[in-house]
Chains A and B, each alone.
Chain A
Amino acid sequence: MSTSSIKTKSSIGVGQIILFLSVAILVIVVAFPVLLILFNAFWVEGHFNLKNVIEVLSEPDTFKALKNSLIIATGTTIGSTIVGTFFAWLVTRTDLPHKTFMKSMFLVPFMLPSFIGAMAWKMLLSPNAGFINQFFIHHLGFTGPVFNIYSYLGISTVEVMYLFPFVFIQVCGALERMDPTLEESARISGAGLLTITRKITIPLVLPSIMSGALLIMLYSMAHFGTVAVLGIENGIYNIPTLIYERIHQSGGSFASIRTGTVLATVLVISAAIIIWAQRTILGKGHYQIIGGKSFRPMELKLRGLRMPLMIFCLAYIAFTIVLPTVVIFLVGGLKTYGLSFTPENLSLDNYKFILFEYQVTRDAIFNSVTLGFSAAIITMFAGVMISYVIVKMKVRGKGILEFLGMLPFSVPGSVIALGVILAWSGKFGINLYNTVWIILLAYIARYMAFSLKANSAALEQVHDSLVEAARSCGATMWQSLKDIVIPLVRPGMLAAFFLIFLPSLRELTVSIMLYAPTTRTIGVAIYTLNEDGETVISAALAGIALIIIIVGQTIINHFTKKEGA
Chain B
Amino acid sequence: MSYVRLVNVTKRFGDVTAVDNLNFEIGKGECFSMLGPSGCGKTTTLRMVAGFEDLSDGEVWVGDNLMSSPRKNHYLPPEKRNFGMVFQAFAVWPHMSVYDNVAFPLQIRKLPKSEIEQRTTDALKATNLLSAANESPDFLSGGGKQRVALARALAINPDVMLLDEPLSSLDPHLREEMRFEIKELQQKYGFSIIYVTHDQSEAMALSDRIMVMKLGVMQQIDTPLNIYNHPANQFVFSFIGLSNFLNVVWRDGKLYLKGEGDKLAMPDELVPPEDLKGEPELSLASRPSEINFTSMTDPEALHGVVSRKAFLGEIIDYQIKAGEQTLRVQKGRRDPGPEAGENCAVHFERPFWYKGHAK
Chain B residue at smallest Cβ distance from A190? B108
Q: Which B residues are CB-close (under 8 A) to A189?
A: 79, 104-105, 108, 152, 156
Contact for B52 among A182, A204, A292, A298, CB less than 8 A: A298
B132 smallest CB distance to A (angstroms): 17
Task: Please report the C-alpha to C-alpha distance between residue A293 and residue B52 in the assembled complex, in whole angstroms.
Answer: 15
Q: Does B175 touch A at the CB level, under 8 Å?
A: no
Nearest B residue (CB) for A184: B52
Residue of A whose beta carbon sits closest to that of B53:
A295
A191-B108, A292-B169 known; A204 vs B89 contact (CB < 8 Å) = no
Closest to B52 in A: A184
CB-based nearest A residue for B90 = A181
Near B by CB (< 8 A), chain A positions 161-184 give: 179, 181-182, 184
B149 at the binding interface (Cβ < 8 Å): yes
Query: Residues of A contacting B105 with CB < 8 Å?
Result: 189-191
Alpha-carbon separation in the docked complex, A182 to B84 (Å): 14
Report chain A residues within 8 Å CB of B43. 293
What are the residues of chain A within 8 A of B241 when measuring CB–CB?
A: none
Q: Are A184 and B91 in contact (CB under 8 A)?
A: yes
- Assess whether A269 is interfacial by the CB under 8 Å rule: no
Cβ of A182 and Cβ of B83 under 8 Å apart?
no
Q: Give the shortest distance, in Å, between B49 (CB) and chain A (any CB).
A: 11
A192 close to B89 (CB less than 8 A): no
A288 to B140, CA, bound (A): 13
B78, A187: Cβ atoms under 8 Å? yes
Let me know if B78 and A184 touch, CB within 8 A.
Answer: yes
Closest B residue to A192 by beta carbon equals B79
Cβ-defined contact, A204 with B95, below 8 A: yes
- Cα separation A85 to B105 with both chains bound (whole Å): 27
A186: interface (CB < 8 Å): yes
Q: What class of interface size applies to chain A in its complex with B?
A: 20 to 34
Most buried by A among B91, B108, B156: B91
Contact A188 B81 (CB under 8 A): yes
**Min C-beta distance of B157 to chain A, whole Å:** 12
**Contact, CB under 8 Å: B79 / A188:** yes
Q: Are B91 and A291 in contact (CB under 8 A)?
A: yes
Does A395 interact with chain B (Cβ within 8 Å)? no
CB 8 Å contact bits of B68-91 with A (1 = contact, 0 = none)? 000000000111111111011101
Contact indicator A188/B84 (Cβ below 8 Å): yes
Interface: B50 (CB within 8 A): yes
Beta-carbon nearest neighbor of A288 in chain B: B94
Does B159 make an interface contact (CB < 8 A)?
A: no
Is B93 part of the binding interface, using a Cβ–Cβ cutoff of 8 Å?
yes
Q: How far apart are the CA atoms of A292 and B95 in the complex, in Å?
A: 19
Partner of A293, one of B88, B95, B149, B152: B88
Q: B93 and A204: CB pair below 8 A?
A: yes
Q: Are A190 and B109 in contact (CB under 8 A)?
A: yes
Q: Could you tell me the distance between the alpha carbons of A102 and B58 in the complex, rounded to whole angstroms?
A: 37
**Out of B78, B138, B169, which one reaches A188, CB within 8 Å?**
B78
- Tell me whether A554 is interfacial, beta carbon within 8 Å: no
Contact B89 A179 (CB under 8 A): yes
By a CB distance below 8 angstroms, the chain B residues around A187 are 52, 77-79
Quick one: given A188-B85, A189-B108, are A182 and B79 in contact (CB under 8 Å)? Answer: no
**Which residues of chain A have C-beta atoms less than 8 A from B52's C-beta?**
184, 187, 295, 298
Verify if A552 is at the interface (C-beta below 8 Å from B). no
Q: Roughly how many angstroms separate A97 CA and B88 CA in the complex, as a whole number? A: 32
Find chain A residues with CB under 8 A from B109 CB. Answer: 190
Bound CA span A182–B169, Å: 15
CB distance from B92 to the nearest CB of A (A): 8
In the complex, A289 has a CB within 8 A of chain B: yes
Is B138 within 8 A of A185, CB to CB? no
Which of B81, B88, B89, B92 lies at the interface centre, i.e. has the most chain A CB atoms within 10 A of its CB?
B89
Given known A-B contacts A185-B149, A188-B78, A191-B108, A287 and B87 have beta carbons under 8 A apart:
no
The minimal Cβ–Cβ distance linking A287 to chain B, given in whole angstroms, is 4
Chain B, range 80-131, C-beta contacts under 8 Å to A = 80-85, 87-89, 91-95, 104-105, 108-109
Answer whether residue A195 sits at the interface, using C-beta atoms and an 8 A cutoff: yes
Q: Which of A179, A191, A195, A199 contacts B91 (CB 8 A)?
A: A179
Q: How far is the CB of B116 from chain A (nearest CB, A)?
A: 13
Q: How far is the CA of A266 from the CA of B330 in the complex (A)?
A: 78
Contact bitstring B32-59, A, C-beta under 8 A = 1, else 0: 0000000000010001001010000000
Question: Beyond A190-B105, A191-B79, A191-B108, is A185–B95 a contact (Cβ under 8 Å)?
Answer: no
Measured between beta carbons, the chain A residues less than 8 angstroms from B92 are 185
Give Cα distance in the complex from A179 to B94, angstroms. 12
Whether A186 and B104, one on each chain, are in contact in the complex, defined by CB atoms closer than 8 angstroms, is yes
A292–B91 CA distance with the chains assembled, in angstroms? 10
Whether A181 contacts B94 by the Cβ 8 Å rule is no
Partner of A287, one of B47, B78, B138: B138
Q: Which of A473-532 contact B (CB under 8 A)?
A: none
Assembled-state Cα–Cα distance A289/B93 (Å) = 9
Further pairs besides A187-B52, A189-B152: 18, Cβ < 8 Å: A179-B91, A181-B87, A181-B89, A182-B91, A184-B52, A184-B91, A188-B162, A189-B156, A190-B79, A190-B80, A190-B105, A191-B108, A195-B108, A200-B93, A204-B93, A289-B94, A292-B169, A298-B52
* 13 A-B contact pairs sorted by A residue (CB < 8 Å): A179-B91, A185-B87, A188-B84, A188-B85, A190-B82, A190-B105, A190-B156, A203-B95, A204-B95, A287-B95, A288-B94, A291-B89, A292-B88
